[in-house]
């Protein structure tokens, strides 16, 4: 069988959540199923590392799909042409956008519906595109995959999608995320935080990631806690975020905030495993991969008690109201001052992380693809 896959977010050195989902799952699926031929559709020149095995045939399909208008051209015109040309019998799109003009079955992976609940967190054109396109995609796709039970429930409630049409295939953490030695932790602190202990925030810098309240909480923490800590922020800024700029400018301890930008996975894994705690307090999240990465690294997690995050973290972290700076601050104080609590959270996190596996996710996604063929 020939299977076409939208791989436009496999970008060398620029893998975000959806890119990692595509990478981890299809690196396994293609190798596990050598009897099938996989056609990877890129929208720009690709790196050879993404051609995972001999049964992968890469194609560069123009135009580059990086704007709502170009999304429509790529998915509704270029993709049907490419599918027909290569003779694919199934199309899989891991990034929430399907094609409205395909005659073969298609499976679309849905990550979150943040634009339904917080439309103003996106630019007007992006918000309009996702709010109009996603319900059409959800209705038209032969099968959907949701990355969490929460996202599945959100699809059902927001769009009236049948439960039986949606499979849940979780994210996981890469194998690079593991506990490290005390010496490695010390070396990492010296390299990134002037030798001081630090909290880590890993995420694209986007309103729903709630960084503005993390900055306020860190400032309060520095006022209330005697020992000096740093806050290391890893991720790229998506667009202008005036509220964040105002909060940062008003901080008393901004000299203790370190922005690293995007990092490669191996270095980020070291940084995560060497942190005093991970802060992941988004007020809307479809899954939250950094939560699993921190748990698997033996790093305590402070997470938001909303949307998909309690499903992912379970009892393996400290849950807070993401809209309460006071709760975030208090959790930061507790996780570094209460050694009993800290040890319990780390132990529970290491155990909880075992619930998430890319091997298992790839198997579940493959079964969903086969179910899609039996529409």
User: Distances from the Cα of 219 to the Cαs of 230, 257, 304, 331, 333, in angstroms?
Assistant: 10, 10, 19, 14, 12
Q: Are 68 and 51 in contact (CB under 8 A)?
A: no
Q: Are 224 and 331 in contact (CB under 8 A)?
A: no
2-172+357-373 with 182-353: one CATH topology? yes
> Band of the pLDDT at 74, cuts 50, 70, 90?
very high
CA-based max dimension of the chain: 66
The reported pTM is: 0.95
Structural class in CATH, domain 182-353: alpha beta
Between the two ends of the chain, the Cα-to-Cα distance in Å is 16
Structural class in CATH, domain 2-172+357-373: alpha beta
Instruction: Tell me how far the alpha carbon of residue 234 is from its chain's centroid.
Output: 13
Question: What backbone torsions phi and psi does residue 221 show, to the nearest 5 degrees?
Answer: -60, -45
Distance from C-alpha of 170 to C-alpha of 149, rounded to nearest angstrom: 9
pLDDT at position 336, please? 97
Instruction: Tell me how far the alpha carbon of residue 142 is from its chain's centroid.
Output: 24
pLDDT in tens, 79-136: 999 999 999 999 999 999 999 999 999 999 999 999 999 999 888 889 999 999 999 9
pLDDT at position 39, please? 98
Q: What average pLDDT score do residues 41-46 get? A: 97
Distance from C-alpha of 361 to C-alpha of 56, rounded to nearest angstrom: 20
Nearest to 176 by CA among 369, 20, 18: 20
Distance from C-alpha of 26 to C-alpha of 18, rounded to nearest angstrom: 12
User: Distances from the Cα of 260 to the Cαs of 12, 115, 193, 264, 267, in angstroms?
Assistant: 18, 27, 11, 11, 11
Domain boundaries, the chain: 2-172+357-373, 182-353
pLDDT at position 375, please? 67
Q: What average pLDDT score do residues 360-374 get? A: 96
pLDDT at position 66, please? 84
> Band of the pLDDT at 374, cuts 50, 70, 90?
confident
pLDDT in tens, 164-206: 999 999 999 999 999 999 999 999 999 999 999 999 999 988 8
Q: How many residues does the chain have?
A: 375
pLDDT at position 16, please? 86
137 or 239, greater pLDDT: 137
């Amino acid at each position: 069988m020939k299977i076409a896959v939208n791989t436009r977010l496999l970008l060398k050195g620029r893998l975000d959540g959806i890119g990692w989902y595509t990478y981890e799952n299809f690196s396994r699926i293609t190798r596990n199923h050598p009897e099938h031929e996989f056609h990877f559709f890129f929208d720009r020149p690709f790196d050879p590392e993404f051609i995972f095995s001999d049964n992968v045939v890469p194609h560069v399909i123009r135009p580059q799909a990086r704007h709502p208008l170009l999304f429509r051209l790529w998915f509704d015109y270029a993709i049907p042409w490419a599918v027909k040309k290569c003779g694919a019998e199934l199309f899989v799109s891991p990034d929430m956008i399907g094609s409205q003009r395909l005659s073969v079955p298609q499976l679309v992976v849905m990550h979150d519906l943040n634009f339904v609940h917080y439309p103003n967190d996106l630019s007007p054109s992006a918000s309009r595109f996702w709010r109009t396109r996603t319900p059409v995609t959800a209705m038209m796709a032969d099968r959907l995959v949701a990355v969490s039970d929460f996202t599945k429930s959100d699809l059902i409630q927001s769009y009236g999608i049948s439960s039986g049409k949606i499979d849940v295939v979780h994210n996981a953490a890469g194998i690079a995320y593991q506990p490290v030695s005390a010496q490695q932790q010390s070396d990492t602190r010296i390299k990134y935080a002037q030798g001081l202990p630090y909290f880590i925030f890993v995420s694209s810098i986007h309103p729903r990631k709630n960084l503005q309240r993390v900055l306020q909480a860190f400032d309060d923490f520095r006022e209330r806690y005697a020992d000096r800590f740093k806050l290391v922020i890893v991720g790229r800024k998506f667009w202008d975020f005036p509220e964040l700029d105002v909060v940062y400018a008003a901080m008393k301890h901004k000299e203790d905030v370190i922005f690293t930008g995007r990092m490669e996975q191996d270095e980020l894994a070291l940084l995560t495993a060497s942190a005093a705690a991970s802060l992941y307090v988004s007020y809307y999240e479809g899954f939250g991969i950094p939560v699993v990465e921190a748990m698997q690294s033996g790093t305590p997690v402070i997470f938001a008690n909303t949307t998909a995050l309690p499903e992912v973290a379970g009892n393996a972290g400290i849950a807070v109201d993401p809209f309460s700076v006071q709760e975030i601050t208090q959790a930061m104080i507790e996780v570094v001052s209460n050694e009993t609590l800290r040890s319990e959270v780390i132990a529970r996190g290491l155990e909880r992380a075992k619930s998430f596996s890319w091997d298992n996710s790839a198997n579940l996604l493959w079964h969903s693809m086969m179910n899609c063929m039996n529409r």
